[in-house]
Structure 1
């Protein structure tokens, strides 16, 4: 067949009207199909967003913990027998509004930090939802759904850069029927029980929706509801001892907590140098005066919060003298929170320092605990040489916080305390070590002044309540501007301060030596449940692959 040649010498290809028309028709057809898929998925996405908001409302300061069950059930229903890709999008649509709402307090640092962290953390929930869809075809799928919630939290608590545990189901259930389970298997077991109840609720809904004429659906629905309720009430059978013990020393100690307050909230909460320190010194001197006048009992030790000394007391003579004045006035050791230089010129250390009165055998600063888990981008800058060039705000973190290498076991007067600093209360391993290595009372030194007018202080306070039950220890919280508190070993709140005010709390706190089951088993329940979730996903994928191969051979 002859080809036509155009004047420029190129071969002229004859027009093919039918091909062009077919191509032009195919593109709108594909677009219409994609739009149809998007429109069909909008209700499911909207419901996922709603479930994410419900989960956010289950956390403090709202504390509507039953909504956590509904949120888990809703996500289980939305991902049931879907493809992994569909479920992953549903999980992201669930996780993004949940974490954007929950972590809104990070907006104080910057909207970019807040949104980037929330969206990144949502990817873990997307992966979990994909796993739920895959395992929803297995027998006993509510069990695997609950395990995958623990798997998701296990991963999110550890990676990247040491993880970020905010938003665990257990932290929405720090005063619910599920809370006592923390004494058996820690926060992971609480998460598992909540997720199991939610998944079983979803199973009951599916049984009703797919009811048949034989009536067996009623039995399935009732069984699911009964098992879900059992997971919720079994915690009432867990004993939570609260009395002090004498094996390791006195059964109690009179502890005072000083909340000196800060000049103002936000990123620049410190004000002028030594102002925060002077606030805590003056509050301690006022307590000493009340003790001298017989208006208050003399404490056996005093707790100051993180950053209560806003300058390095070792290198600032005025700060050293002010702290010693306060210690001598009250006449008992004070646990002081301070930033100190070291171990080199590029680093500082966030420490709790035991400061003894002049009448002690060794007066002044003594044993100390250095925070083991500095907050990335807040207390140190990962990849500083690269990121600081592009994000100039990171230059406000002038020096990185060095990581401590030992557990916070400190003898302060008659009490052997387990000290943790601020966000460390969210990390299971750090708190567990503080108890298993000898802490008879947990002390949380914290400075949440940056987030004073946000939900963050309430969220962190709830974590401390769970730790009390988990480890059978009283928890004493000392905060610069709130929330300071004394929490009993059963999680009940004996005293609690208000935000943005100076306060002094004092209580006779039980000192305990006995370990809970959770202390003895450590991270084993979390590992077992997490691995079970992963194995269920692997089994479901294997079964599905085998079925496809059999189907291909049959065809």
Structure 2
């Protein structure tokens, strides 16, 4: 696995033999090298799984990426591609194992399809192996492939980005400088530098210098300042007391309508329990309350009984509640909306539903079916989604009590642009047009994936977002994991899976943008562009060397006089 340069022509370069005969090389060494590279790719992928939540053995990420880099370095791009696919499958299939609750076919298709993007990374690493600064190119290839798969196909699927395995390490603060792409770059660079040390171990001074660089990268993140205090600006408060409700889901056995009613009742009951504890002095009075996604799947805008239950809970706690509700799209009943609705108490003078946010990024095959007319006939499981969720067209910034809050619903936390737009105030409509969020909320429903590791993975993303945007994050889940995250990514409290409960804490409100939010997507796009340029230069450089080599005079095969 340490073959490099001209020795890495996949073991197939022909060597002139005696009397002009060019024998084929022995297949034994080639087969052994291929097996070693394949094993390194697979082992690297498996170790990477363990570095992510729910295992969180984070120190395995650098050797995992070093193994992958060593396996891909020095081979042709097409060989790197299939080696990368092995690594991608070894990583993503276990990492996305929670998809098996939807169906084994869905799990294999999702993991197999997105392993192609890691194969793309490997092809880029292989193609640029001859560049002198190849350790710096490796992380650029990771950023490039992640930038693509975050956006395509069907809006992309960012799950499993390298940054999402580094949500509580010394590399996490880099998110405040250039978001998740810089965290990906940093951990991939560490892996590439370790691979470089392995390849150049016979040069002690160079190897030691490289290890020093690794130490600097891993510790410098701790020097990035992360905010912890709130800001009182323009008459706005510097902090609020926020509450998160987790009502839990009912035991199996109820019919569909009964389950929907019970979920709503659970969140009403837990909110009323919080109100009783406030009245008894056992809990502080919150300024706002967050319910999770799908806390009511019964449309409260059309069902008076559901609306009455919500209003009773809101009046009991007597502050605005952000309610996660599935509602019918007003202008087209063939579609539904996944919404966060600000519900006001009677004491406000205008009780009931107020402003709302509609999820902008519904999940393909989970909330809407691409090519429904054809696929619904072929796959009966899609009958569970009789109507597609329509996307919203504005950024989710809402006034919830004294807090200007940025709302993300479930998987939306995985997408860079949605949280960034909320904090920047881009795409905000209505009375808050142009105003950015001072705090973030993630409403989620992970009941389908309880005890699979998926809730822990999503919690890690929320912690990274807190650091990236310098905002506290309130996570409300129907059945876990709910949490309150401070702006520096630390946990103020959490509720585990399959439990009912509430969290109340004082959290800061902030206006300043981090460097990452000010820069936006520019650093990622520059890194991706650099990766493409270096790939092209490497390919054309190799072709030029081959062309020059083919023009060199060949020894004459004519018999001498």
- Residue 52 of structure 1 contacts residue 71 of structure 1 at CA under 8 Å; is this kept in 2? yes
Q: Write the mapping of 1:66-465 to structure 2, written as runs, cut at 5 A.
A: 66-208=59-201, 211=202, 217-248=203-234, 249-264=236-251, 271-342=258-329, 343-437=331-425, 438-465=436-463
C-alpha RMSD over aligned residues? 1.8
1:265 deviation in Å? 7.6
- Residue 43 of structure 2 contacts residue 67 of structure 2 at CA under 8 Å; is this kept in 1? no
- Residue 48 of structure 1 contacts residue 91 of structure 1 at CA under 8 Å; is this kept in 2? yes
- Residue 258 of structure 1 contacts residue 303 of structure 1 at CA under 8 Å; is this kept in 2? yes
- Residue 269 of structure 1 contacts residue 449 of structure 1 at CA under 8 Å; is this kept in 2? no
1:346 deviation in Å? 1.6
Distance 1:399 1:35, change over 3 A: farther
**1: CA distance, partners of 2:252 / 2:34:** 43
The one-character-per-residue Cα deviations of 1:91-112 (angstroms, maximum 9, x if unpaired) are 1111101001000000000000
What is the total number of aligned residue pairs between the two structures?
Answer: 517
State the secondary structure of the residue aligned to 1:353: strand
- Residue 488 of structure 1 contacts residue 494 of structure 1 at CA under 8 Å; is this kept in 2? yes
1:84 deviation in Å? 1.3
Q: Write the mapping of 1:495-514 to structure 2, written as runs, cut at 5 A.
A: 495-514=493-512
Distance 1:507 1:270, change over 3 A: farther
Aligned twin of 1:18: none
State the secondary structure of the residue aligned to 2:516: helix
Q: TM-score with structure 2 length normalisation?
A: 0.90
1:271 deviation in Å? 4.8
1:294 deviation in Å? 2.3
Q: TM-score with structure 1 length normalisation?
A: 0.91
The one-character-per-residue Cα deviations of 1:497-550 (angstroms, maximum 9, x if unpaired) are 011010110001111111100010011111111111111110100100111111
Q: Write the mapping of 1:450-529 to structure 2, written as runs, cut at 5 A.
A: 450-529=448-527
**2: CA distance, partners of 1:493 / 1:347:** 37
**1: CA distance, partners of 2:523 / 2:265:** 46
The one-character-per-residue Cα deviations of 1:19-73 (angstroms, maximum 9, x if unpaired) are xxxxxxxxxxxxx998985565223212211110000101001111121111111
- Residue 265 of structure 1 contacts residue 452 of structure 1 at CA under 8 Å; is this kept in 2? no
The one-character-per-residue Cα deviations of 1:279-325 (angstroms, maximum 9, x if unpaired) are 01111111112222222221111110000012000111100100111
- Residue 283 of structure 2 contacts residue 504 of structure 2 at CA under 8 Å; is this kept in 1? no
State the secondary structure of the residue aligned to 2:158: coil
- Residue 410 of structure 1 contacts residue 417 of structure 1 at CA under 8 Å; is this kept in 2? yes
Distance 1:198 1:134, change over 3 A: same
Rg comparison, structure with higher value = 1
Aligned twin of 2:541: 543
Aligned twin of 1:3: none
**2: CA distance, partners of 1:250 / 1:368:** 22
Distance 1:203 1:270, change over 3 A: farther
Gaps of 5+ in 2: 1-24, 426-435, 554-561
1:394 deviation in Å? 1.2
State the secondary structure of the residue aligned to 1:240: coil
Distance 1:155 1:266, change over 3 A: farther
State the secondary structure of the residue aligned to 1:491: coil
> Bigger CA drift: 365-374 or 257-266?
257-266
State the secondary structure of the residue aligned to 2:200: helix
**1: CA distance, partners of 2:463 / 2:414:** 11
- Residue 73 of structure 1 contacts residue 199 of structure 1 at CA under 8 Å; is this kept in 2? yes
- Residue 270 of structure 1 contacts residue 276 of structure 1 at CA under 8 Å; is this kept in 2? no
State the secondary structure of the residue aligned to 2:398: strand
- Residue 141 of structure 2 contacts residue 531 of structure 2 at CA under 8 Å; is this kept in 1? yes
**1: CA distance, partners of 2:499 / 2:390:** 31
**2: CA distance, partners of 1:97 / 1:271:** 40
